[in-house]
């Protein structure tokens, strides 16, 4: 059974917030536009007491913010004027009569009553019996106090902040928010911390375990740093809270145990720049575009490739999807049209990676034919093709991954299946090389570059994570990250947090 909340109650809570924070113009504007009045006082007892004691300097400012029946309002202001006349504050009484909207209305609708008050102001004496007419000032005050007390109510202070606080505590209790996390109420997200100094990961933060018959094949952090998404061998795409290591249950579809998924293993994932959309590619050559907040599939490319999709990515403007595949092709697909728009041919073996340049004008692809190709993203012309130096004695090493170097947009990091990773120009010149020093059994399977480009992380076939400093060119740290079957890695966009995953069925998060 769902709770029903009146819209007027929501408006009243907003009005209370305006009142408590002295936003009186906003309070008045909302009341006028919505025709909803707050009609609350801090204390009904105090309000009644101040009327009974004639503390009009306290009562009238409170009354000015209330929406009261005209008759009751006129009775109150009439009493105030009578008491002023009795105290011979005649000038003040006249000013109230002539400048107050209540009396302007009375002058129009009850002219005799208004003229009687004006006449009293002009007298040189005050006849108590005539004015109070068989009653007394104190009784009139008590009558008005009782009458007005029926029109007002009192509520606990800061209701808006209290309700928001209760909602956030409930979400934390349900595991939807990590404990002790600052929350961006406007965006509806937990505020992520930013590490000011880049450091290599050196200790295990937590482990995310997958089912017995599944393991992650790919993983990616969202650009806003709020989510970690994995694609698994069983076709599931899951969104994780990397702080708790649990599935994000604030996504309703995951709370209902519904998931984004493919029919076969998910091999590639990538986010749009605004972290709203996710593109996934699978072993059967299909690509899907998802809205992460709802889990809705916005676009399917049933025949994106004839073999497994190895890499996917959004164009800078978010209108195209770039993909590479074991079928040896790089393709560009239109999100709006749902069709393949461009095809880049030239590699003679699997294409393992494909990325857009930061300005979107070029595409760089890496292949098992041991080459890197640079393409014009508009014309699809191959601008350059080169092979990184071969350091392996067992033949030409396939290029597994490429990344643009954050410190220079004209340079890329090239990782091939060897124990050396390179920073190279887009024309194929080596700027710097980094070596693990391991002669056998330690070839790199994948690599990642830190957000500011100060570190290059390489995952070896020996399940060791090698951390190279781009400043010194040295191997600064090595760390065992899996028992067997290493697959890949990714890094958080602004924290010293690296995720590694293996076919042993787990993803591990490593912190500095």
Q: Which pLDDT tens digit goes with each residue over 455-497? A: 999 999 999 999 999 999 999 999 999 999 999 999 999 999 9
Q: How far apart are the first and last CA of the chain?
A: 48
d(CA 323, CA 162): 48
Backbone conformation region of residue 88, classed left if phi is above 0, alpha if psi is from -120 to 50, else beta = left
Helix pair 70-86, 137-149: axis angle to 10 deg: 150
Q: Look up the pTM and report it.
A: 0.69
**What's residue 1's pLDDT?**
46
Contact 160, 16 (CB under 8 A): yes
* Nearest CA among 27, 34, 106, 84 for reference residue 61: 27
Tens digits of residue pLDDT in 233-282: 999 999 999 999 999 988 999 999 999 999 999 999 999 999 999 999 99
How does 76-106 read in b/e, with b if 16+ C-beta sit within 10 Å? bbbbbbbbbbeeeebeebbebbeebebbeeb
Instruction: Give CA–CA dist 286/300, Å, rounded.
Output: 7
How far apart (Å, rounded) are the C-alpha atoms in residues 13 and 31? 12
Residue positions counted in the chain: 512
Supply the pLDDT for residue 176.
59
Low-confidence ranges of the chain (pLDDT < 50): 1
Determine the Cα–Cα distance for residues 152 and 356; give it in Å rounded to an integer: 64
Side-chain half-sphere CA neighbours of 170 within 13 A: 7
Tokens for 40, please give them: 């609350």
Q: Six-digit token pair at 222?
A: 């969202």
Burial class (CB in 10 A: 0-12, 13-18, 19+), 70: exposed
Please give the DSSP secondary-structure letter assigned to residue 305: -
pLDDT for the residue numbered 204: 96
For residue 323, which of 312, 333, 335 has the smallest C-alpha distance? 312
Which residues, including other chains, have CB under 8 Å from residue 128's CB and lie 6 or more apart?
A: 86
């Amino acid at each position: 059974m769902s709770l029903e909340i009146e819209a007027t109650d929501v408006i009243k809570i907003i009005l209370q917030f305006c009142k408590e924070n002295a936003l009186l113009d906003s309070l008045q504007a909302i009341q006028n536009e919505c025709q909803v009045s707050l009609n609350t006082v801090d204390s009904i007892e105090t309000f009644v007491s101040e009327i009974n004691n004639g503390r009009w300097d306290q009562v009238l400012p409170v009354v000015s913010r209330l929406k009261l029946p005209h008759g009751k309002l006129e009775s109150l202001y009439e009493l105030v004027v009578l008491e002023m006349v009795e105290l011979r504050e005649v000038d003040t009484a006249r000013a109230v009569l002539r400048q107050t909207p209540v009396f302007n209305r009375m002058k129009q609708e009850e002219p005799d009553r208004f003229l009687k008050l004006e006449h009293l102001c002009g007298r040189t004496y005050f006849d108590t019996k005539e004015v109070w007419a068989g009653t007394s000032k104190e009784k009139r005050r008590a009558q008005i106090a009782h009458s007005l007390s029926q029109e007002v109510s009192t509520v606990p202070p800061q209701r808006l902040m209290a309700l928001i606080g209760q909602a956030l505590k409930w979400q934390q209790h349900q595991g939807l928010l990590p404990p002790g996390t600052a929350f961006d109420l406007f965006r509806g997200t937990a505020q992520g911390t930013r590490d000011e100094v880049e450091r290599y990961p050196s200790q295990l933060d937590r482990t995310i375990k997958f089912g017995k018959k599944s393991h992650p094949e790919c993983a990616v952090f969202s650009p806003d740093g709020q989510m970690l998404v994995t694609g698994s061998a069983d076709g599931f795409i899951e969104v994780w809270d990397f702080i708790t290591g649990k599935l994000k249950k604030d996504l309703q579809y995951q709370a209902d145990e519904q998931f984004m998924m493919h029919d076969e293993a998910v091999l590639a994932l990538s986010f749009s720049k605004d972290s709203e959309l996710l593109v996934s590619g699978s072993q059967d050559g299909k690509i899907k575009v998802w809205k992460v907040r709802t889990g809705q599939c916005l676009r399917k490319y049933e025949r994106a490739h004839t073999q497994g999709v190895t890499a996917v990515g959004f164009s800078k403007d978010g209108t195209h999807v770039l993909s590479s595949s074991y079928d040896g092709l790089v393709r560009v697909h239109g999100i709006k049209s749902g069709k393949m728009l461009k095809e880049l041919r030239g590699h003679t073996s699997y294409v393992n990676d494909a990325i857009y340049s930061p300005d979107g004008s070029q595409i760089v692809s890496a292949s098992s034919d041991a080459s890197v190709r640079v393409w014009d993203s508009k014309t699809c012309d191959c601008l350059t093709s080169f092979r990184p130096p071969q350091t392996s004695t067992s033949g030409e090493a396939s290029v597994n991954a490429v990344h643009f170097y954050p410190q220079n947009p004209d340079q890329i990091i090239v990782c091939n299946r060897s124990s050396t990773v390179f920073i190279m120009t887009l024309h194929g010149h080596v700027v710097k090389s980094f070596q693990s020093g391991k002669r056998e059994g330690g070839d790199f399977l994948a690599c990642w570059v830190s957000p500011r480009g100060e570190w290059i992380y390489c995952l070896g076939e020996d399940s060791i994570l090698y951390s190279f400093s781009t400043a010194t060119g040295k191997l600064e740290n090595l760390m065992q990250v899996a028992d067997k079957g290493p697959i890949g890695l990714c890094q958080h966009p602004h924290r010293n947090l690296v995720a590694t995953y293996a076919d042993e069925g787990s993803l591990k998060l490593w912190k500095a």
